[in-house]
Amino acid sequence: MSKVKTNFVCQQCGAEASKWLGRCPGCGEWNTMVEEVVPKKTESHLASLPASKPKPISTVDTAAMPRLLSGVGEFDRVLGGGIVPGALLLIGGDPGIGKSTLLLQVAAGVAEKYGPVLYTSGEESAAQIKIRAERLEKMSNNLLIFTENNLETIILQALHQKPSLVIIDSIQTMYSPEIPSAPGSVGQVRESTGKLMRFAKESGIPTAIIGHVTKDGNIAGPRLLEHMVDAVLYFEGERSYAFRVLRAIKNRFGSTSESGIFSMEEQGLAEVANPSGLLLAERPQGAPGSVVLAYMEGVRPLLIEIQALVSTTCFGMPRRMAAGFDYNRLILLMAVLEKRVGLMLANQDAYVNAVGGFKIVEPAADLPVALAIASSFRSTTIDPHTVVMGEVGLTGEVRMINRVEARINEAASLGFKRFVIPAGNLSGLKLTKKAGLDITGVASISEAMEAVF
Ligand code: TYD
Ligand code: MG
Q: Which of the ligands is closest to the CA of residue 102?
A: 1
pLDDT tens digits, 17-32: 888 888 999 899 888 8
Residue 71 in this model has a pLDDT that exceeds 50: yes
Q: What spacing in Å lies between the alpha carbon of 267 and ligand 1's midpoint?
A: 10
Q: Are 325 and 352 in contact (CB under 8 A)?
A: yes
* CB-ligand 1 contact for 100 (6 Å cutoff): yes
CA 64 to chain centre: 31
**Residue where a domain terminates, one of 229, 247, 271:** 271
Residue 98, marked binder? yes
Q: Which of the ligands is closest to the CA of residue 96?
A: 1
Same domain, 321 and 258: no
Same domain, 337 and 434: yes
* CB-ligand 1 contact for 95 (6 Å cutoff): yes
What does the DSSP assignment read for 401-428? Answer: -S-HHHHHHHHHHTT--EEEEEHHHHTT
Is residue 333 in some structural domain? Answer: yes
Same domain, 221 and 138: yes
Query: What is the per-residue pLDDT for 254?
Result: 85
Residue 188 in this model has a pLDDT that exceeds 50: yes
Residue 406 in this model has a pLDDT that exceeds 50: yes
Q: Are 312 and 318 in contact (CB under 8 A)?
A: no
Q: Are 104 and 138 in contact (CB under 8 A)?
A: yes
Residue 125, marked binder? no
* CB-ligand 1 contact for 109 (6 Å cutoff): no
Residue 293 in this model has a pLDDT that exceeds 50: yes
* CB-ligand 1 contact for 239 (6 Å cutoff): no
Is residue 63 in some structural domain? Answer: no
Residue 100, marked binder? yes
Same domain, 164 and 282: no
pLDDT, averaged across the chain: 88
Is residue 403 in some structural domain? Answer: yes
List the 117-121 sheet strands across, edge first: 143-147, 117-121, 165-169, 207-212, 88-93, 231-236, 243-251, 259-265, 268-271
Indicate the pTM of the whole model.
0.80
What does the DSSP assignment read for 39-53? Answer: PP----GGGGSPPP-
Q: What type of residue is 132? A: R
Q: Which of the ligands is closest to the CA of residue 123?
A: 2
CA atoms within 13 A on the CB side of 336: 24
* CB-ligand 1 contact for 106 (6 Å cutoff): no
* CB-ligand 1 contact for 268 (6 Å cutoff): yes
Q: pLDDT band at 435, cuts 50/70/90?
A: confident
Q: Which residue minimizes the CA distance to atom 17 of ligand 1?
A: 268
Other residues' Cβ atoms within 10 Å of the Cβ of residue 285? 8
- Phi, psi dihedral angles at 374 (to 5 degrees): -60, -40
Is residue 61 in some structural domain? Answer: no
pLDDT tens digits, 140-167: 899 999 999 999 999 999 999 999 999 9
* CB-ligand 1 contact for 288 (6 Å cutoff): no
Same domain, 219 and 289: no
Same domain, 363 and 385: yes
Same domain, 102 and 250: yes
**Residue where a domain terminates, one of 209, 240, 271:** 271
Is residue 258 in some structural domain? Answer: yes
Same domain, 236 and 109: yes
Distances (CA, A) of 227 to 114, 167, 168: 29, 19, 18
Query: What is the per-residue pLDDT for 222?
Result: 44
**Mean pLDDT calculated for residue range 91-106:** 92
**Mean pLDDT calculated for residue range 341-351:** 94
Is residue 55 in some structural domain? Answer: no
Domain that holds residue 186: 68-271
**Mean pLDDT calculated for residue range 299-313:** 92
Query: Residue 239: which CATH number?
Result: 3.40.50.300
b/e sequence 63-78, b meaning 16+ C-beta within 10 Å: eeeebbbbebebbbbb
Query: Residue 384: which CATH number?
Result: 3.30.230.10
Same domain, 438 and 370: yes
Atom of ligand 1 nearest to the CA of 169: 6
Is residue 60 in some structural domain? Answer: no
Same domain, 92 and 150: yes
Same domain, 161 and 242: yes
Count of domains in the chain? Answer: 2
Q: pLDDT band at 47, cuts 50/70/90?
A: low
Query: What is the per-residue pLDDT for 1?
Result: 44
**Residue where a domain terminates, one of 249, 271, 293:** 271
Is residue 123 in some structural domain? Answer: yes
Same domain, 247 and 344: no
The ipTM assigned to this model is 0.96
Residue 299 in this model has a pLDDT that exceeds 70: yes
Q: Which residue minimizes the CA distance to atom 8 of ligand 1?
A: 96
Q: For 80, left (φ over 0), alpha (ψ -120 to 50), or beta?
A: left
